[in-house]
Chains A and B, each alone.
Chain A
Amino acid sequence: MIIRIASHEFKAYFKSPMAWTILAVLQLILGYLFLTQIETFTLMQDKLANIEGAPDLTDIIVIPLFSNAGIILLLVTPLLTMRLICEERRNKTLSLLLSAPISDTQIILGKYLGTLSLLGIIILLISLMPLSLMTVVEFDKGKLLANVLGLSLLCSAFTAVGIFMSTVVGHPTVAAIGTMGILLILWLLNINSTLSDNPNEFLSYFSLLKHFQSIQTGLLDSSDIIYFVLFICSFLILTVNSLSQQRFQK
């Protein structure tokens, strides 16, 4: 049943121009940034070759591309998630969905996986950019894999917050703005580590950016993976709980 809901959600995105527009705009922005990074590297490579320990092709092209994608997806994901539950409620179809013989967990997981599938396509398109250079130059595949994993976990976390806000808030626009607000706060918690002489370790732990950057280096740390898994689980539990509350208030 989860797969059916996910497939329905996924198809629904492509039945409206929204997903296509997002794909087009993302492709244009990230394609431009990718080509700019290539140009930067080709201009710098002669100088870099003579410096010991200088950043390599993967550091100059792949990592900035995925970092930029992370920031752009922080702004885009709320637009994809804002309608998940809100729209059902506004169209009065939520009661129908809740009266169907499916659990709240199945509804939430189905909708969550449907959105993740679309984000999976976006991540695949981003990964194809550096992969298209593979015929010309060899770069660190491990680091590329780490970046793909980091961005996938980051998008999963964004979606979990988005679906939660869509469940608790009555209007899609408010849900999108609320999601963006929460994500920006969680993103910027790490700013403390560069601005302060003695950063607050507790606050830094909650920063999405800190864990994402840590995975991007290619060093897979169990604490970073656990952070993302727990983050996603916490928001999904809260979402299921919130939907259950609404079921009993009907």
Chain B
Amino acid sequence: MSLISPINQQVGLKNKLISLVLISGLCVIAWLGNIYVFQLDITRKSSNTLSLSSQNLVNKLTHPIFITAYIEKGQSLRVQIRQLIDRYRQINKNFNLTFIDPQLHPELSKELKLGPEGIILVSYEDRIEKLNYIDEKSLSESLGRLANIENITLELSSKKHSDGSLELSETAIATLNLIYLIVLPLTFVSSGIIIWRKRKSS
């Protein structure tokens, strides 16, 4: 015999149904959230947004662009390249990115003379260019050459640079060590001991 009364069973069923409807609603919002995307670059130099000259160049590319990255599996460089190509893809859907692990294709590695840092092939129409290093500047310049777009001026060189030198005196380093490794942890530990003793005595 069930110990749960019929009223409680009904309320329980109602709660389950409400949760099911709410979670289904959340799934729909997640799906819509992936279709209608809004982005805001809050970095100081808008380092996550393509420059105007890159955007103009990418808009002129009418044929598919194939980017093949010969980079070993598990390297964080793959994530960075994917993020970079995603920025181009948001403006022009013709960008196609493929990763190939050179260790799985030793004959290709020999043919392309691949080093441990890998290589990136950019192909547009029937032209191919090899890049040893990929960032917005190198990729946009390469695309400009492949698409024969002569008069592009890339204003990228000053886009991202070091925030400046960090000159810390020995006193400053010693103070930071003292604060973060001794004073703060000791304060928290001693507070914990005081609380523990108080509880024990009461």
Contact = CB atoms under 8 A, between A and B. Distances in A.
Interface of A: 14-21, 23-25, 27-28, 30-32, 34-35, 38, 41-42, 45, 48-49, 52-54, 56-58, 125, 129, 132-133, 136-143, 145-146, 193-198, 205, 213-214, 217-223, 226-227, 230, 233-234, 237-238, 241, 244-245, 248-249
A57 B163 contact: yes
Given A20-B192, A221-B39, A222-B39, A141 B44 contact: yes
B73 A244 contact: no
Contacts of B189: 20-21, 24
B76 A222 contact: no
A140 B4 contact: no
Interface of B: 4, 8-9, 11-12, 15-16, 18-19, 22-23, 26, 29-30, 33-34, 36-45, 47-49, 73-76, 78-79, 82-83, 98-101, 135, 137, 157, 160-168, 172-173, 176-177, 179-181, 184-189, 191-193, 195-196, 199
B167 A136 contact: yes
Given A49-B165, A249-B4, A129 B78 contact: no
10 contacts: A27-B185, A35-B181, A49-B165, A133-B166, A142-B42, A195-B74, A213-B79, A219-B41, A221-B39, A245-B15
Contact of B164 (A18, A138, A233): A138
B166 A223 contact: no
Nearest to B33: A226
Contacts of A195: 73-74
Contacts of A16: 195-196, 199
A31 B181 contact: yes
Contacts of A34: 180
Residue of A129, A194, A221, A238 with most partner-chain B CB within 10 A: A194
Contact of A194 (B4, B74, B162, B196): B74
A31 B176 CA distance: 9
